[in-house]
Structure 1
Amino acid sequence: MVNGLTADGIDVRVQRRGTTGTIVILIDQDGERTMLPYRGAATLLDEVPDEWLEGLELLHIPAYTFKGEPVGDSVTKLILRARQKGILVSIDASSTGMLTHYGVDKFLRLMQELQPNFLIGNQSESEFLGLCIDGEAGPALSLLPDTIVVTKAGADPTVVLGSPTGKLTVTVPPVTGVRDLTGAGDAFAAGFLSTFLATRDLKSACVGGHSSAARVLCSPGASMPV
């Protein structure tokens, strides 16, 4: 895995301990997936050295990392250190299953403490957290005055709330030849965040996210065609 990421030009930093995690993914005829995860070493990330933050513009964290120790405490401290250094922070809501086990109120309190610049989730996750309901601001949005909430809704428009200009709705271009939804949400986040860093424009960031996600939807697994 490390060799593959390095070959793609990624500067990989790892801690080695425990057993590498595994996920069994079952894909139905519509491309929807069911995941059976074994997190393994993913929960064992310990204190992250300061040099891992050097040169960063943005730190992106999946909410899965808050469930389990020592990774939960390590990542929480890492985010606070990043904010102190002026690094932008993005958090992906991950899944309603994870949020259920972690606790919605507990998660929202943590978000209040961390005040990430971006909180990205799909429609189910945003509604579950009370952040975006039927495309409008939910009651929990007021808890995060410094956070831009980005809600994906599949083929329906992406909704951005908490932005300086108010609500932003961005249409998703149609995608043909969908094979597998695995990794599309992460691809959206990658496209959204990288485009935002390049343009500082939220609409352009959504367009970049949609483009990135579309490439993954048309390819089996969490991958893009070469």
Structure 2
Amino acid sequence: MTSPAESAAPGVLVVVGDLLEDIVVWATEPIRAATDSAAQVFRARGGSAANVAAHAASRTPTRFIGRVGDDAAGRTLEAALAASGAEVRVQRDGRTGAVVLIVAPDGERTMFPDRAAAAELHEVDTGWLDGAAWLHVPSYGLEHEPMRSEVRRLIGLARGRGARVSLDASSTGLLDGLGVERVLGWYAELRPDVLLANETEAEVLGVAGGGPVAASVARRLVVKHGPHPTEVFDDGVLVERVPVAPVDGVRDLTGAGDAFAAGYLAAAIGGADATAACLAGHAAAASVITSPGAGSPA
């Protein structure tokens, strides 16, 4: 039987958050401190929320809400996201943000974000939520004011319209920087229908094995374990372990979690159960981890 977390009425997946430029540095040899290290450098449209919207747009009607600078970079990123098929609604002011990503030869990455205008999202036109069946927000949206308060307002408005809500834990650095207890308090207050986290994020939050804390922060917790089975907890109780198909040639994990979110949410909106939604997420994630940045190879 389909659970409440997958029973949203047909409508639009609305994703709120960052639209940024990714500057992706692929180290082609072990990184040597304080001197040169050989690398390839790529530039691409990025931002966690924008990545989710771009991957979801080919699967379900999708709208992105965010803020970019009133500059050429912002206009270029907006056009690139719209080209994915997503409906793009952005505020424009200030300077467009960017993220530098250093990707080691084993595919693991270190990120240096400068969100700039993205973190200034506020006073969103409530009409931008029209038709929303599901609202998804990466936790990056909780990092700074005024965006934090605006995200909370939008979640309340979406809920009032009958939309489901999901959050992504986003980053261990973000969680530690904000304070784990503080973040857990926000999650418990917002009580998303689905909380997505990778293994290390779940460990930092203290919800890796489910239990009372997991039950307090989300109706459903989805914990990704890289190439190992994804675990699904409903009200803190393990209900599914979904195997991950092997992927050859893994080179860059940038955006894998965002792609998983897109596949999972698009399937859930369509009525898929937890297993099918996770499998859709795995397939979407597999499409990005062999190429630079968060996009699928052309």
User: What range describes the TM-score normalised by the shorter chain of this pair?
Assistant: over 0.9
**Structure 1: segments with no counterpart, 5+ residues:** none
1:1-226 matched pairs, under 5 angstroms: 1-132=77-208, 136-144=209-217, 147-162=219-234, 166-226=238-298
Percent identity of paired positions between Structure 1 and Structure 2: 46
Q: Greater share of strand residues, 1 or 2? A: 2
Separation (CA, whole Å) in 1 of partners of 2:263 and 2:235 = 18
Q: Aligned letter for 2:243?
A: T
Return 191-200 or 90-99, whichever deviates more: 191-200
Q: Aligned letter for 1:99?
A: L
Cα shift readout 1:186-207 (whole Å, capped 9, x = no counterpart): 0000001101111331100000
Separation (CA, whole Å) in 1 of partners of 2:89 and 2:203 = 34
Cα shift readout 1:114-150 (whole Å, capped 9, x = no counterpart): 1111100100111111112xxx324411323x52000
How far off is 1:224 after superposition? 0.3
**Structure 2: segments with no counterpart, 5+ residues:** 1-76
Separation (CA, whole Å) in 1 of partners of 2:215 and 2:280 = 27
The answer as to whether partners of 2:213 and 2:236 remain within 8 angstroms in 1 is no
Q: TM (normalized to structure 2)? A: 0.72
How far off is 1:43 after superposition? 1.0
Separation (CA, whole Å) in 1 of partners of 2:272 and 2:193 = 13
Q: TM (normalized to structure 1)? A: 0.94
Separation (CA, whole Å) in 2 of partners of 1:225 and 1:130 = 35
Aligned-residue RMSD, C-alpha = 1.5
The answer as to whether partners of 1:130 and 1:138 remain within 8 angstroms in 2 is no
RCO comparison, higher one (Cα < 8 Å, 6+): 2
How far off is 1:164 after superposition? 10
- Find the structure with the greater CA-based Rg: 2
The answer as to whether partners of 2:96 and 2:117 remain within 8 angstroms in 1 is yes
Cα shift readout 1:59-118 (whole Å, capped 9, x = no counterpart): 110101111111010111111111111111110001111111111111111111111111
The answer as to whether partners of 2:230 and 2:241 remain within 8 angstroms in 1 is yes
The answer as to whether partners of 2:199 and 2:224 remain within 8 angstroms in 1 is yes
Separation (CA, whole Å) in 1 of partners of 2:98 and 2:215 = 37
